[in-house]
Amino acid sequence: MKDWQNSLRGLHPHLLAWIWTILLISQMILAFFVFRQPRNQPLMFAGWAIWALGTIFAIWPIFALRARGKVPEGKNYMETTALVDTGLYAIVRHPQGGTAGILLNLALPLIGQHWLLIILAVVGMVLIYVDTFPADEACIEKFGEEYVRYMQRVPSINFVAGLFRLLRNRKQEGTDVIRSISDFCPEGAEAGVGLALQDDEGHYLFIVAGPRHYCPPGELFYAGIGGHLEPGEDWLECAHREALEEVGTDVEILSATVTWYVPQSSPARQLEVTDRPRPLALYEMIHPPGTPRVGELYRIVVYRARLSGLPSRLQEDEVLAVIALTREQVIRGRERKPTLAELLDEGARIMASTGPVDDSIRLYPLGTALALAHLLRHVQE
């Protein structure tokens, strides 16, 4: 499967869409204007019903992406700068270029009732399905881990499965019981700690990935200080150890006023947990593409904290620098990949580094940084 997906990368990005669109238009001409044979009325009515549903999936995204996708003024509605995951996009990832095309291809043979329409429809549906793979890759490149998480909870084009999954998740929201960290992280699950650190000026402190970590060319991620929970270690011990290892100073753990649950399959919501100090968030992270455990779930317990001293002995293979970002930069992190120079111009600061940092490098959030982007946006809205 990987081989034929790789072969698609050599094609023009819109070639498959052009071909299946031409096939669909050909079917419309044949069904509506050429074939005049007697037709089975119940089948034709069923075809028109499917056609109407497909038209909804085709037209609705035009308005949804413009309304919620933060499209720059004067740009095409497809040129979004924010991921849209509500409405039809909460049911399928590709309502217009996928689900609508499939439905219209199903409808036309029922309306026209000719063997040639069936052949054209089958070819068209295969091309539409194949075309969703490069579309997903383009969205992963554009939106990063946020889109990977979105892929985990929303199917590509199957709106029946998507609707069922959406209803099931909403039902589970009221039945899932998380009263403690142990409910969130069952024994044996991959888990770790992340720290939501703020300085005296309200900036959020993050580490910038060192050479040990995989990142796309020309890019580095930033994340909260923290890491995996080791055997026999509790959550607070993990937090203190990771801080000392990564930035050379200890931290003071602060109890949050409220705990947020940020699952990978539904929106964030508040929890009442018994653990003290109370964590800020319980975050489900999906390992991004390019990492050894891509697509797997990693549970992060996020604590509010402040540094006991200035960052000093950075762990060189793990940490290139410690950066302080403004609240607005944290929120906007999930929507863009700014250069370090742009962030510095907006008010960010480099607190410490292991050497020179290229200010043309582009930065994107991961783990705790992405969890904070979600939470701060949620509170803001």
324 and 351 in contact (C-beta within 8 Å)?
yes
Q: Round the CA-based radius of gyration of the chain to a whole number and report it.
A: 24
Alpha helical stretches, state H, 144-258? 145-153, 159-173, 181-184, 235-247
Domains belonging to the chain, first-starting first, are 2-172 (no CATH), 181-380 (3.90.79.10)
End-to-end CA distance of the chain: 42
Instruction: Say yes or no to pLDDT of 32 above 60.
Output: yes
pLDDT digits (tens, 9 = 90+) for 66-94: 888 888 888 888 899 888 888 899 899 99
Instruction: Say yes or no to pLDDT of 196 above 80.
Output: yes
* Whether the predicted model's global pTM rises above the 0.85 cut: no
pLDDT digits (tens, 9 = 90+) for 224-282: 999 999 998 999 999 999 999 999 999 999 999 889 888 866 677 888 888 999 999 99
**Other Cβ atoms within 10 Å of 179 Cβ, number:** 12
Nearest to 284 by CA among 295, 267, 299, 270: 299
Can you read off the two tokens belonging to residue 244? 């000392």
Nearest to 31 by CA among 97, 102, 129, 111: 111
Max CA-CA distance within the chain? 84
Q: Which position has the higher pLDDT, 340 or 177?
A: 340
What gap in Å lies between CA 209 and CA 211, rounded to an integer? 7
323 and 349 in contact (C-beta within 8 Å)?
yes
**Other Cβ atoms within 10 Å of 46 Cβ, number:** 15
Average pLDDT for 107-124:
94
Can you read off the two tokens belonging to residue 270? 């508040």
Instruction: Say yes or no to pLDDT of 1 above 50.
Output: no
Q: Which position has the higher pLDDT, 265 or 147?
A: 147
pLDDT digits (tens, 9 = 90+) for 275-303: 999 999 999 888 776 667 777 888 999 99
260 and 282 in contact (C-beta within 8 Å)?
yes
Alpha helical stretches, state H, 279-334? 327-332
Can you read off the two tokens belonging to residue 286? 């999906």
DSSP code, position 281: E
Q: pLDDT at position 371, please?
A: 85
